[in-house]
Structure 1
Amino acid sequence: MAVIALMAPVVATDIVAGEPLPYHIYLANGVPLANRGQILTDPDQLEILRCQGWRGVSEEGVPPADAIPPDEAALRMDRQAPVRCQPQARPVLSEATGLVADDMPLSLKLLSRLLREQGVHRIVAAENGRQAVGQFFRQRPPLVFLDIDMPGLDGIDVLKQIKSWSPETFVCLVSGNATMVNVKVAKTYGVDAFLVKPISGLNLQRVLSLYGPLTLSAD
């Protein structure tokens, strides 16, 4: 995707189930969500794009009246309409997809391997917070591990975004130096567990014991 000079909120009526998207769509902080020409049918994804999506605006031609610089758009994230996805049942580990985000390749590879050894069915890897949010939007895995100290969007930023969409998703923050401030803030956003580096199989097993399948009530 090209460098964005200006951003403008999407036109909700442009987002139609089963029809190609008319432009690339981002969150207000510039995280890519969907590409021009992509066809989506998932109601939750469509609602996120309509309520929280932004489009990049070219410097050529006359920009729309609501176009603003990217840094100003990012400041408006917390003022946008919230979107809560339909709750999903949490599967057992042997059927679950886990998302792992870490900017350190060795840590990413190690945690992914340990999760497989603990019986997690499938692993999706992200090299930074932006990728993590995009992967979650596309795949909505029920189990997420986020390194706190990632550049750009850190683990707490990603935690906040994921929990705003899907509170039932199990999110664990990973860090070698988690501060009390980080812990306190993460708890306000609904973090489910913490994992301290260096990661051991025993500590990971302890965290996964908190996961547990989640069934939805008939209500």
Structure 2
Amino acid sequence: MRVLIVDDNASMRTLLSVLLTSQGYEVVGALPDGNGVTEAVATTAPEIVCLDYRLPGRDGLSILQEINSTYPEVDVLFMTASEGSDIEARAADAGAAGFLRKPFSQKQVIDELRLVCATRRQVTRGSNSAGAPKSPATGRGAVKPASIGGTQRPTVVIADDNSSIRLLLKGVLSDLGLNIVGQAANGEEAIRAVMTHKPALLFLDVNMPILSGLEALPRIVEASPETAVVMVTGDTSRTIVQQAAGLGARGYIVKPVRPSYVEKFLKELFKS
């Protein structure tokens, strides 16, 4: 697995380079600031970027958004020493595949990267098989639908303004045996996609342009009451969760998206 490291602390760059190399990763570069990161991604072709938040030149969140927009197939492990309570949610909503708060141990780095790599493998597997007809019980860990949608292979629409998260969810859900019939990048598009496809499931991002997920949710429930709406969010505050449930959502998935949690959630949902 090819990794690009971006951190303004020389000791941290050295530590991560040595640690990741010892674990079998190929470190393709180590940058000291936020300038030229996307250009480095283009030239070094990493699969994972270890990205610090506080950087000279540019902050990590803006770089994360640019990477996910330009190279949605690249996973970003976001790192920060910031004590801000909302930074993890902001990074997750921006498309971070993983999160580390400094100071962190070597074990934390290794464990988080393993989760990122495991998710990448499942996304790749799902993406490769997305167009192939199969029953829900075909793949490893495939979800067996019961009542939702009344079909052998439940249909799904994914609505998220982040192309990286849409790609991730498409791969994970396809690998679990679901049929992705539509995607949307804002609340208005989500409403139109639901009206067109009447999917069994809608994965709906909370924070989107034009109409947020919470603003679009009542219109979606009215247009297709049989669609089970699952909110996708990096913010799990009680207010958001209760508001979504009150508007008709059947539950929520927390970013960064983890395939094992999605699988467990869907199996519980299909039981109901």
What is the TM-score with the length of structure 2 in the denominator?
0.43
Q: Where does the alignment leave 5 or more consecutive residues of structure 1 unmatched?
A: 1-87, 215-219
Match of 2:170 among 80, 90, 112: 112
- Provide closer, same or farther for how the CA distance between residues 123 and 210 of structure 1 changes in structure 2, counting only shifts above 3 A: farther
1 or 2, which has the higher helix percentage? 2
Q: 1:97 to 1:213 in 2, by over 3 A?
A: farther
Q: Please tell me whether residue 91 in structure 1 is matched to residue 150 in structure 2.
A: yes
In 2, the alpha carbon distance for the partners of 1:159 and 1:140 equals 14
Percent identity of equivalent pairs: 29
Match of 1:133 among 191, 194, 199: 191
Misfit runs of 4+, over 3 Å? none
Structure 2 segments unaligned to the other structure (5+ residues): 1-146
Compute the displacement of 1:89 (Å): 6.7
1:199 correspondence with 2:257: yes
2:242 is equivalent to residue 188 of structure 1: no
Return the index of the structure with the highest Cα Rg: 2
Q: CA deviation at 1:164?
A: 2.0
* CA separation of 1:188 and 1:117: change in aligned 2, threshold 3 A: same
1:160 to 191, 198, 218: 218
CA distance in 2, matches of 1:207, 1:156: 20
Q: Is the 8 A contact 2:231 2:251 kept in 1?
A: yes
Q: Distance between the aligned counterparts of 1:123 and 1:197, measured in 2?
A: 22
Secondary structure of 1:210 counterpart: helix
**CA apart distance, 1:177:** 1.4
Moved more, 132-141 or 160-169: 160-169
Does 2:179 align with 1:121? yes
Q: RMSD of aligned C-alpha atoms?
A: 2.0
Displacement of 1:166 after TM fit? 2.8
CA distance in 2, matches of 1:213, 1:123: 23
Q: Secondary structure at the match of 2:248?
A: coil
- Give SS of 1:209's match: helix
Q: Which amino acid in structure 1 is aligned with residue 247 of structure 2? A: Y
Q: How many residues align?
A: 126
CA distance in 1, matches of 2:224, 2:269: 15
**Counterparts of 1:122 and 1:206 in 2: how far apart (Å)?**
19
